[in-house]
Amino acid sequence: MSSETKQILTTDGIPLEVSLKKAERKNKIKAFLLVAPLLFFLIITYVFPIGDMLFRSIDDKMVTQMLPKTFKAMETWDGQELPGEEVFAAFHEDFIKLVEDKREGKLSTQLNYTKNGFKSIIKKLRRKSKSFEEGNYKEQIMSVHKRWADVEYWRAIKRRAPEFTSQKYLKGMDMYVNEEGKIVSVEEDRRIHRVLWLRTLEIAFFVTVFCFLMAYPIAHLLATLPMKYSNLLMICVLLPFWTSLLVRTASWMILLQQQGIVNDFFVGIGLVADDNRPEMMYNKTGSYVAMTQILLPFMVLPLYSVMKTISPSLMRAGKSLGGTPFVAFWKVYFPLTIPGIGAGCLLVFILAIGYYITPALVGGASGTLISNQIAFHMKSTLDWSFASAMGLMLLSGVLVIYWLYNKIVGIDNIKLG
């Protein structure tokens, strides 16, 4: 007998399999339609803009569009010696058009980013170009300023020909493309971004370690105390968690200031002299202390929820089998808490690495992080493409951490609250 004759039909004569598939598809569509509003809202307002950041960070069309003919003429130029007349003529044509549109200032700013010294010679060229005669532009342009006769400057222009650039990313790592087109690092004393990346990692790492060391004992206490005490103590964890970040930062500013309570206390117990109060704010110490306290609940809660599920009889069993309490703890209890440790550390590290408000308020110059630099470029220098590039570098770092975490511990093992 063939399988077709065995086919089961529904009452209206459609094969059951088909009918089921249809119902299944209908359910799928229904479920998807429920998710769709939020999904599309987020894709439009959030996911695309992050893509837009990527585009902005590599976009370098401005100069490409300002000097289209020049770059076309330059295609055959090998960059060894000064380009020929046709390049100069094309450049002149592009330039006259820019002057007409009053955009030559933008060109000079852009080219100045690539090589210093363009600003003045473009200004000069604009003035002189009014009295240019037709033909032989090479001679005429070169006579405006000796730098126009310098092949280095023409190479610098050619470097701006591509529509896309990795320059902002290199800048974020204190590197740049030098005259020969090689990627090199900037001088040692100007490597501000590398210092910032390292400091961000360092602060995030130590804040995570401090949080872990402080959260482990109290999470254990909360998980083992009888309910009526632990509920009360839990408030000590939850109240800071629900309190405004700015309020908590403000309280640290009061505590840590030079005439503040912590310093008063140190003077009171004779640890430091009254006239020699240490600076505890506007430096790394401030960032460490405030960030540890603010992020501590994010470590306690996952640890607590994992420890809550560990039966106390396991420790008793360990001890009854001859282990000292320490051995029982280390061999039995601790390994069971690893999912909680992983979740807590991941949360705290990722929150710390992107921290902005607290370091900006209590960190001073030596305690600020990469986020502060991003905000600085967004608000002060308005170099949005650079801010985007740095933001995406930070984001990819965060995603790599998630990926690693998923590989090592498994994201499903995360337990929150």
Partner 1 sequence: MALPKYTEPHYRIWHYIYLTICGAVFFFLIAPLFVIFPLSFNAEEFLSFSDGMKSLDPDAFSLRWYKDMIYGTKNPWGLAAKNSFIIAIFATIGSVILGTVAALGLSSRHMPYKGLIMAVLISPMIVPLIISGVAIFFFMAKAGLAATHTGIVLAHIILGTPFVVITVTATLSGFDHSVTRAAASLGSDPVNTFMKITLPLILPGVISGGLFAFVTSFDEVVVVLFLAGLENTTIPIQMWTGLREQLSPTILAVATCLIILSTLILVTAELLRRRSERLRGINR
Chosen residue from 201, 267, 336, 395 binding partner 1 by CB under 8 A = 395
Structure tokens at 383: 């170099």
Structure tokens at 105: 């200032």
CB of 307 to partner 1, least distance (A): 12
- Long-range contacts of the stretch 371-378 (C-beta < 8 A, 24+): 371/200, 373/193, 373/196
Spacing of C-alpha 310 from chain mean position:
37
Which of the stretches 28-36, 64-72, 73-81, 146-154 binds partner 1 when contact is defined by CB under 8 A?
A: 28-36
**Token pair 């000069």: residue:** 124
Beta carbons within 10 angstroms of residue 56's beta carbon: 18
Binding of residue 323 to partner 1 (CB under 8 A): no
Which of the stretches 5-13, 35-43, 75-83, 141-149 binds partner 1 when contact is defined by CB under 8 A?
A: 35-43
CB of 341 to partner 1, least distance (A): 16
Spacing of C-alpha 203 from chain mean position:
15
Binding of residue 24 to partner 1 (CB under 8 A): yes
58/61 Cα distance (integer angstroms)? 9
Tell me which residue of 120, 38, 132, 36 sits closest to 91, measured CA to CA: 132
How far apart are the two ends of the chain, measured CA to CA in Å? 59
Binding of residue 357 to partner 1 (CB under 8 A): yes
CB of 160 to partner 1, least distance (A): 24
Binding of residue 48 to partner 1 (CB under 8 A): yes
Binding of residue 32 to partner 1 (CB under 8 A): yes
- Residue 114 C-beta-side C-alpha neighbours within 13 Å: 23
49-88 binders of partner 1 (CB under 8 A):
49-50, 52-53, 56
Which stretches of 192-244 are DSSP H helices? 192-224, 227-242
Binding of residue 143 to partner 1 (CB under 8 A): no
Binding of residue 342 to partner 1 (CB under 8 A): no
CB of 106 to partner 1, least distance (A): 20
Binding of residue 33 to partner 1 (CB under 8 A): yes
Tell me which residue of 289, 305, 310 sits closest to 344, measured CA to CA: 305
Beta carbons within 10 angstroms of residue 410's beta carbon: 11
- In the three-class reduction of DSSP (H, G, I as helix; E, B as strand; rest coil), residue 23 is classed as helix
194/200 Cα distance (integer angstroms)? 10
Q: Toward partner 1, which CB reaches closer, 183 or 235?
A: 235
Mask for 278-317, x = binds partner 1 (CB under 8 A): ---------------x--xx----------x---------
Chosen residue from 378, 383, 409, 413 binding partner 1 by CB under 8 A = 378
145-174 binders of partner 1 (CB under 8 A):
none
Chosen residue from 79, 135, 181, 217 binding partner 1 by CB under 8 A = 217
Binding of residue 404 to partner 1 (CB under 8 A): no
Binding of residue 376 to partner 1 (CB under 8 A): no
**Token pair 């459609």: residue:** 14
Q: Toward partner 1, which CB reaches closer, 47 or 151?
A: 47
223-262 binders of partner 1 (CB under 8 A):
224-225, 233, 235-240, 242-255, 257, 259-261
Residues near partner 1 (CB under 8 A), total: 87
Tell me which residue of 283, 285, 282, 302 sits closest to 293, measured CA to CA: 285
